Amino acid sequence: MSALTLSTSSAATLRADAVVVGVAKGPKGPVVAAGAEAVDKAFDGKLAAVLEALGATGGEGETTKLPAPSGMKAPVVLAVGLGDAPAKDEAFGHEALRRAAGSAARALAGSKKAAFALPVEDADAAGAVAEGALLGAYSYRPAGDGAAKKNGKDEKAAKGAPLAEIALLGGKPRDKAFKAAAERAAIVAEELNRARDLVNMPPNDLDPKTFAATAQAAGKEFGLKVEVLDEKALLKGGFGGIMGVGRGSDAPPRLVRIGYTHPKAEKTLALVGKGITYDSGGISLKPAGHNETMKCDMAGAAAVFAAVVSAARLGLRVNVTGWLALAENMPSGSATRPGDVLRMYGGKTVEVLNTDAEGRLVLGDALARASEENPDAIVDVATLTGAMVLALGNRTFGVMANDDAFRTSVYEIAEEVGEQAWPMPLPAELRKAMDSPVADFANMGERMGSGLLAGIFLKEFVGEGITWAHLDIAGPAYHESAPYGYTPKGGTGSAVRTLVRLAERTAAGDLG
């Protein structure tokens, strides 16, 4: 990942390949944002006029490259649009800063070092700029004999390479709060980018076993306890959901428990992630057009993994247990058939009417197992239903819960960290549609509201009295259109920042 440094240097004298300044959309044209004073001075106070002459408006995501005037060390100035200028005496929103920093970092891919002179009023704003820049600078680098290695050190490789060093200006490195915000941003961004890498890895390189090995390696590195149940242990342990989904694949399933504990923790948060390393649909095979991006079906597990490791690296005063329910959903002679009845962990039976509704099966087992440890709250994260994408679109995840106050908290936390989310209900009447003549219930019901119905299915496996929320990230987990702000094509790292903030808030005792 790109390196992050805090610098007290002036934007005019700092040695860098480019200096990034902010420009906002004012009522009478572009307005240069705070932080760019030294740069504007080098332009004889005419930076806004020059930008306007070049057609810049200050609109969100707009980038304009200018040759730097002679008074500056850096050869290039990059002006990035922050969107509408805030009202007088008000600061730019954190998400505007995050997105602008991300757009700038993307526009500077291939450069070595860029100095970010964006308006950072306080430590949190500096953290947002750092986070946006580090996330925007991300690019997936295939391992082994892929592009990264082939291009080696030649010029072309440098072109595709992400921005190597991000220097944050105006950040007061001697101020503890600024330093802490930058360090936090670096950790969260690094782990979030790692989650993106896992999602982007081709499914023939990331199967349940290799995912589990990745978790074990991270556990070693950061002092986390990692336990892996393999197919033998899962069979013996009665994990009928995970086994039922994984049995059709040559790559057998895994359940990973990755635990971070703090000696002074008062609360324990359990995070459960759907980790289908490839979802073909199984015997209820998905048609062409619906399976090309299904390597992303482990994005929930990747988010949980990243959040637990982040909590550990941040040293949060809370216990966080991650459960990664890993399986590959494939059709074969040993695959679960529509009509089969599975005995889930904990003893409930499920009639599988559609093998493509596999996420709820692996999550049911993991939720029941996580409940045994009686955590203060459980949050599951899953690319669970196409219905949630139809309802909320490609950028917003749905938040469901068995507790209205907790659902509101999770939704508000998502908003606070710059993730688009929306609260969704769990209408009790949908439960009846899952009635089965041969099992406790079926894994499918009616089509209408089927994203909510999936949530109701999951609720059956949450232990009595445990606060639980379900995040359906099927829309935002994988981004197929053009990059924007700090969001690249492919894996996005959806829900990571929400989970990390939730852990921080739990540590601070802010939640129930």
**Active-site residue list:** 286, 360
What is the spatial distance between Cα 108 and Cα 247, in angstroms, rounded to a whole number? 46
Closest alpha carbon to 364 in 254, 269, 463: 463
Member of 66, 366, 389, 499 binding ligand BES (CB under 6 A): 389
Phi, psi of 461 (to 5 degrees): -105, 0
Q: How is residue 363 written in tokens?
A: 């999550």
Residue 399 and residue 423 in contact, taking contact as beta carbons nearer than 8 Å: yes
Residue 275, interface with Zn ion (CB under 5 A)?
A: no
Window of 56-64, 166-174, 196-204, 297-305 that interacts with Zn ion by CB under 5 A: 297-305
Amino acid identity of residue 502, one-letter, is L
Q: Given the complex with Mn ion, which of 14 and 363 has the nearer CB atom?
A: 363
In the complex, the smallest distance separating the C-beta of residue 171 from Zn ion, rounded to whole angstroms, is: 42
Residue whose tokens read 């929320």? 469
Spatial neighbors of 309 by CB under 8 A, at least 6 apart, are 191, 194, 218, 222, 224, 258, 260
Q: Which of 328, 356, 460, 504 binds Mn ion (CB under 5 A)?
A: 356
Strand partners, 31: 24
Residue 385 lies near ligand BES (rule: CB under 6 A): yes
| Site membership for ligand BES, residue 40 (CB under 6 A) | no
Question: Residues 279, 365, 419, 460: which binds Mn ion (CB under 5 A)?
Answer: 279
Which residues 6+ apart lie within 8 Å of 500 measured at CB? 188, 307, 310, 311, 314, 417
Nearer to Zn ion, 328 or 351 (CB): 328
**349 - beta bridge partners?**
343
> Interface residues for ligand BES in 247-306 (CB under 6 A)?
279, 297
CB of 213 to ligand BES, least distance (A): 23
Angle at 56 between CA 485 and CA 37, to 5 degrees: 85
Give the Cβ contact number of residue 234 at 10 Å.
Answer: 22
Residue 93 or 386 with smaller CB distance to ligand BES: 386
Residues 421-460, interacting with ligand BES (CB under 6 A): 444, 450
CB of 298 to ligand BES, least distance (A): 10
x/- mask, ligand BES, residues 458-497, rule CB under 6 A, reads ----------------x-----------------------
Among Mn ion, ligand BES, Zn ion, none, partner that 469 touches (CB below 5 to 8 angstroms by kind): none
Tell me which residue has its CB nearest to ligand BES: 386
- Contact stretch for Zn ion (CB under 5 A) within 18-26, 236-244, 293-301, 337-345: 293-301
Which residue's CB atom is positioned nearest to Zn ion? 279
Supply φ then ψ for residue 7, to 5 degrees. Answer: -135, 145
Eight-state DSSP code of residue 290: S
Query: How many beta carbons lie within 10 A of that of residue 99, not counting itself?
Result: 26
| C-beta atoms surrounding 330 within 10 Å | 22
Q: Which of 209, 199, 203 is nearest to 229 (CA)?
A: 209
Contact window for ligand BES (CB under 6 A) among 138-146, 188-196, 243-251, 378-386: 378-386
Provide the binding-site residues for Zn ion, judged by CB under 5 A. Answer: 276, 279, 297, 359
Provide the binding-site residues for ligand BES, judged by CB under 6 A. Answer: 279, 297, 354, 356-359, 383-387, 389, 444, 450, 474
